[in-house]
């Protein structure tokens, strides 16, 4: 399903652990953004990253720095700190997506379904974002019981960007 050429950017929250995975992701798309996770051997990944795609500002962070892990309010703090519309974090190995204060907080889950100490029954999942002008369509791909299930969520950016 992941064929090169269809995806323009890859945003990865971290914990790739080894270089081979990094190289594989590079084959899918040359534009790769990664932040450092706690098990990454590559020390030069940043802790957080921000980038702009289309009309949206995206923020990236692994999430083990935000305590409590996976807490929406704390993540919202980080979102305000980075001043982004879409915040992408990980670490919990569970997919979540919140609309919060005019922005979106997405946790794509674990792409490999790796073990997590805080989540039972990890299903491999990833998220595909289709950014089109002021509209983002989020496709969630989850591997449940051997089958790929797809879900879709729509987000529209409101023009008011003033943060409180």
Partner 1 sequence: MSESIPRLESGGSSDRRRFEGLRGVQWRLDLGVIPAAPSSSIDDLRRVTADSRRRYASLRRRLLVDPHISKDGSNSPNLAMDNPLSQNPDSSWGRFFRNAELEKMVDQDLLRLYPEDGSYFQTPGCQGMLRRILLLWCLRHPEYGYRQGMHELLAPLVYVLHVDIERLSQVRELYEEHFTDKFDELSFHDNDLTYNFDFKKFSDTLENGSSQENASKVRSINELDPEIQKIILLSDAYGAEGELGIVLSEKFMEHDAYCMFDALMSGVNGSVAMADFFAHSPACGSKAALPPIIEASAALYHLLSTVDSSLHSHLVELGVEPQYFALRWLRVLFGREFSLQDLLAIWDEIFAQDNRKMDIVAEDDEGSSFRILSSSRGVFIAGIAVSMILHLRSSLLAAENATSCLQKLLNFPQNVDLMKLIEKARSLQALALEVNTSTSSSSSGAFVQSKRMVGRGHSLSSDSISPRTPLNLVPDSYWEERWRNLHKEEELKGGSLQKQVSTKKKGWSEKVKLSLSRTESDPSPAKAENIKKVTRTSVRRSLLEDLSRQLGSDEGAEKRSSHQIGGQKDHLSVKDDLARSEIHNEFSCADEERRLSANCGSEENSSIFSDPVSPLSGPIDHENDSEKSSVVSNLSLDEHDDQLQSTGCTVEDSPLPVSDVPDNTSLKSEPNNDPAGKAAIGVKERRPLSGKFQWLWKFGRNASAEETSNKEESPEASKSSDVETIYHDAADHSVIDHSISSGGIKGDSIDGNMIGSLRNLGQSMIEHIQVIESVFQQDRGQVGSLENFSKNLLVGKGQVTAMSALKELRKISNLLSEM
Site residues, partner 1 (CB under 8 A): 1-3, 6, 128, 130, 132, 135, 137, 139, 141, 148-152, 154
Residue closer to partner 1 (CB basis): 80 or 135: 135
DSSP summary character for residue 40: -
Non-local (6+) Cβ contacts of 156 within 8 A are 134, 135, 136
Residue closer to partner 1 (CB basis): 6 or 19: 6
Residue closer to partner 1 (CB basis): 34 or 131: 131
Residue closer to partner 1 (CB basis): 50 or 123: 123
> Are the beta carbons of 82 and 59 closer than 8 angstroms?
yes
Question: Given CA atoms 145, 32, 53, 3 in this order, what sign does their dihedral have?
Answer: negative
Separation of alpha carbons 6 and 28, rounded Å: 8
Q: How far is the CB of 153 from partner 1 (least distance, A)?
A: 11
Separation of alpha carbons 143 and 159, rounded Å: 35
Q: How far is the CB of 24 from partner 1 (least distance, A)?
A: 16
Residue closer to partner 1 (CB basis): 84 or 140: 140
Q: How far is the CB of 113 from partner 1 (least distance, A)?
A: 18
Q: How far is the CB of 128 from partner 1 (least distance, A)?
A: 6
Separation of alpha carbons 19 and 26, rounded Å: 10
Beta bridge partners of 88: 60, 106
Q: How far is the CB of 41 from partner 1 (least distance, A)?
A: 29
């Amino acid at each position: 399903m992941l064929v090169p050429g269809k995806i323009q950017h890859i945003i990865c929250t971290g914990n790739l652990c080894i270089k081979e995975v990094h190289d594989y992701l590079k084959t899918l798309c040359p534009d790769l953004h990664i932040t450092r996770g706690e098990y990454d051997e590559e020390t030069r990944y940043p802790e957080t990253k921000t980038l702009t795609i289309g009309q949206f500002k995206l923020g990236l962070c692994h999430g083990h720095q935000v305590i409590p892990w996976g807490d929406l309010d704390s993540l919202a703090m980080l979102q305000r700190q980075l001043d982004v519309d879409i915040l992408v974090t990980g670490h919990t190995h569970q997919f979540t997506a919140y609309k919060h204060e005019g922005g979106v907080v997405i946790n794509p889950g674990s792409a490999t379904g790796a073990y997590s100490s805080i989540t039972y029954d990890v299903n491999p999942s990833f998220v595909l974002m289709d950014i089109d002008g002021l509209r983002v369509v989020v496709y969630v791909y989850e591997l449940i019981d051997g089958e790929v299930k797809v879900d879709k969520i729509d987000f529209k950016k409101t023009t008011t960007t003033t943060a409180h």
